[in-house]
Amino acid sequence: MNRKTIRKVVKVEGIGLHSGGRAKVFLHPCEGGQGIVFSVHNEQGSALIPALTPFVAETRRRVVLAKESVSVQTVEHLLATCFGMGITDLLVEVHGSELPIGDGSALIWVEAFKDAGIVELDEPAPVFSVPDSVAVGNGNRVVGVVPDERFIAHFSFATEHPLVGIQEASFDEKENDFATEIAPARTFGFWEEVSQLWEQGLAKGGSLDNAIVVFPDRYSSPLRFPNELARHKLLDLMGDLMLLGVRLRGKVVANSSGHALHHKFCKTLLQMM
C-alpha cells in the first residue's frame, strides 16, 4: 500500500473522557513522509509531538504523548483509525489536553476521515515484516507476533463476570473492514472500577453516553456486537501499534493485555528494526 493523507482540513470537537474538558481538533493534510504529528496547544504550552513510541509518557488507562512538558492524552482511538484506514501522514492540531471521546468508539474519527476524503500519495508506506516470533508479558497477560505476509490480530480476555466471561475478537486487513467491524466498539469499564478511576483523577468526562458500564447484572446499554468489549480492546491494540511509525506485517496475538504491555511490545519490536 502507498502512504495516505486526507484531502481537506476537518474539525472535530467534544469532551475528553478523562479530563472532562472540551477539546477542539483540526485534522490537516500532510506531505508524504511526515508521519502522524500532534500540534498541541493547551495550558502547558505548545509543542509538536510525533505519534511515535519514544514520546509515550503514560499508559495508565489511556495513552499520553508528551514533549517539552506539553502532553496530550487519549490518542489511541484516532491512531487506531489511522491504522485501520491506512492514514500514514496527518497533522493533528489539538486545542486542549485530550482528544474528544465521541461516543466512546472510533466512529468520530472514521466520520472525520470520510468527510475529509482520503488521498493516496505516490510513495510506498513504510512496512516492517517481523523476521522472527517474539512475545512479551507474564502469566496470562501477553502479546506476541509471528511472521505473516499481512497484518492479522487476535485479542482475547477472560473475566469471572457472568455477563462477560471469555471474549475474543480478530481482525485481518485483507478480510475485515475496520470502519464497520472494529471502529464502532466502545470503551468500557466495570462498575466497581468507576470510583477508583475518579480517585485517580480519571474518567471525569465519562458518562453512559460515551462508555459501556458493566454492572453486576446488566450492561448500561445494548451491545453493538456480542463481543464488543474484545473488539474495543483490539481497537486499542491497533492504536498502540500505530506508534511504531510503520505498518506491522505479522500475526499479533494478545491476551488480557493493555496499553502498558503494548508499549513494552512496541519497544521490543523497535529493537528488531
What residues are labeled active site?
259
Task: Count other C-beta atoms under 10 Å from residue 247's C-beta.
Answer: 21
CA proximity to 243, closest of 52, 43, 18: 52
